[in-house]
């Protein structure tokens, strides 16, 4: 009488035939895609001062995923993307969570593909940004100098101009509503 080992990865595999490589499911691919913006410090445990950072500056640490298996995948994708030294530890954690080596290879391909599609900054773009920064500085300086006799304080004039410039920049940076 023969018995099947259902705890094995491939209980119906024929001896001598290589098993088919497992692919990531759609939910797992979504976790990898969402992890592209997570910083390395998102892998650390949350502390009490994170509440203070959220209240004062609006900095929100990414939440850990409730599913342990998907969290191990997110940790692996973040550590691989940022080339952290603990990538071997994250890979071990992902393998222990039940991911196959072929699935981790697919994660690496997804992360490398996303890394290769980043737009490269041109020299012209850097020069334009530098010129815009200089123009903004000159506008703020000139307006503060012009307003300082009216406010009897250079500091108050500078704060007034800076707030006005930030308000104008927030409106100027918005894209028009599309219909």
pLDDT, tens digit (0-9, with 9 covering 90-100), for 18-61: 555 688 888 898 888 888 888 777 777 766 666 676 777 666 66
Identify the pLDDT of residue 176: 61
pTM: 0.50
Q: With respect to residue 75, please indicate whether it lies within any of the assigned structural domains.
A: yes
The residue among 93, 2, 7, 79 whose CA lies nearest residue 44 is: 79
Do 99 and 142 share a structural domain? no
The better pLDDT of the pair 157, 7 is held by 157
Helix (H, G, I), strand (E, B) or coil at 137: helix
List Cβ<8 Å contacts ≥24 apart for 159-166: 165/136, 165/139, 165/140
Do 93 and 40 share a structural domain? yes
Judge whether 40 and 78 are in contact, CB under 8 Å: yes
Q: With respect to residue 104, please indicate whether it lies within any of the assigned structural domains.
A: yes
Do 112 and 60 share a structural domain? yes
Do 98 and 50 share a structural domain? yes
pLDDT tens for each residue of 125-176: 778 888 888 988 888 888 888 988 888 888 888 888 888 888 877 776 666 6
Do 161 and 98 share a structural domain? no
Structure tokens at 175: 């894209």
pLDDT tens for each residue of 80-111: 888 877 788 888 888 898 888 888 889 888 88
Phi, psi (degrees; rounded to nearest 5) at 129: -65, -40
Judge whether 65 and 71 are in contact, CB under 8 Å: yes
Q: What is the DSSP code string of 100-124?
A: -HHHHHHHHHHHHHHHHTSPPPPHH
Could you tell me the residue range of the domain that residue 127 belongs to? Answer: 123-172
């Amino acid at each position: 009488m023969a018995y099947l080992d259902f705890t094995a990865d491939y209980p119906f595999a024929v001896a001598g035939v290589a098993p088919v490589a497992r692919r990531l499911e759609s939910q797992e691919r979504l976790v990898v895609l969402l992890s592209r913006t997570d910083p390395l410090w998102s892998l650390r445990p949350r502390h009490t001062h994170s509440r203070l950072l959220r209240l004062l500056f609006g900095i929100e640490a990414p939440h850990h995923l409730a599913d342990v298996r998907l969290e191990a995948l997110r940790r692996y994708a973040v550590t691989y993307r940022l080339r952290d030294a603990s990538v071997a530890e994250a890979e071990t954690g992902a393998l222990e969570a039940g991911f196959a080596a072929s699935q981790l290879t697919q994660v690496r391909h997804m992360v490398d593909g996303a890394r290769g599609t980043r737009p490269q900054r041109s020299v012209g773009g850097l020069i334009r940004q530098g010129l815009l920064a200089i123009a903004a500085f000159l506008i703020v300086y000139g307006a503060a100098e012009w307003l300082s006799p009216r406010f009897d304080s250079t500091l108050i004039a500078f704060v007034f101009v800076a707030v006005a410039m930030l308000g104008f920049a927030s409106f100027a940076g918005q894209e028009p509503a599309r219909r």
